[in-house]
């Protein structure tokens, strides 16, 4: 249960910062400035960074297991399931943001070339399990985009 708590805590907080990043984008507020300002509080705030979702063999998997088990006993963890939904939507959000910017530049996506930096689910490892970068690559590839990627591992 301890590991489930640790990884669910991370999943939920990553979902929160991801949703706030989307909101800040809509309001034309820099999420990074908001996070830096929030970090000045001496207690009560742990900094999480927005990104394309969660990956790896623990953070996306453990909350799913927790959700599965709690549904078996008739007590769904709706907050956890919502966090999963938010994080699972982030690769599409990233792709759509890039498409919007390309459209503003008058560049069609088909036959465009995009380089993705970092494919592993976190830095300094070679593990791509559940990496949201893979969903981004697949999404772009289905739109006729030529994808290259770089990851030091």
Q: What is the pLDDT of residues 76-133, one digit of tens each?
A: 999 999 999 999 999 999 999 999 999 999 999 888 999 999 999 888 888 899 999 9
Against a cut of 0.75, is the pTM above it? yes
Contacts of 1 (CB under 8 A, 6+ apart): none
Q: What is the span of the domain harbouring residue 74?
A: 2-150
Percent of the chain exceeding pLDDT 90 equals 86
CA dist., res. 135 & res. 88, Å (int)? 10
Write the CATH number for 137. 3.40.50.720
Mean pLDDT of 5-17: 97
Indicate if 24 belongs to the active site. no
Alpha helix stretches (DSSP H) within the chain: 2-26, 31-38, 61-72, 78-104, 132-142
Given the residues 58, 59, 90, 95, the one annotated as active site: 58
Model pLDDT for residues 39-53, shown as the tens digit of each residue = 998 888 999 999 999
Q: Which two tokens stand for residue 111?
A: 């036959």
Contact 35, 47 (CB under 8 A): yes
Number of domains making up the chain: 1
Mean pLDDT of 10-37: 98
Q: Name the β-bridge partners of 113.
A: 146
């Amino acid at each position: 249960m301890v590991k489930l708590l640790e990884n669910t805590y991370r999943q939920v907080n990553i979902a929160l910062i991801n949703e706030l990043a989307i909101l800040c984008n809509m309001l034309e507020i820099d999420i990074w400035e908001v996070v830096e300002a929030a970090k000045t509080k001496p207690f009560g705030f742990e900094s999480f960074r927005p990104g394309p979702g969660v990956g790896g063999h623990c953070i996306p998997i453990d909350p799913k297991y927790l959700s599965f088990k709690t549904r078996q006993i008739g007590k769904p963890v709706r907050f956890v399931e919502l966090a999963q939904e938010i994080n699972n939507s982030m690769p599409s959000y990233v792709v759509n943001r890039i498409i919007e910017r390309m459209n503003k530049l008058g560049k069609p996506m088909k036959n465009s070339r995009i380089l993705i930096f970092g494919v592993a689910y976190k830095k300094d490892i070679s593990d791509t399990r559940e990496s949201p970068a893979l969903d981004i690559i697949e999404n772009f590839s289905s739109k006729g985009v030529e994808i290259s990627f770089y990851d030091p591992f």
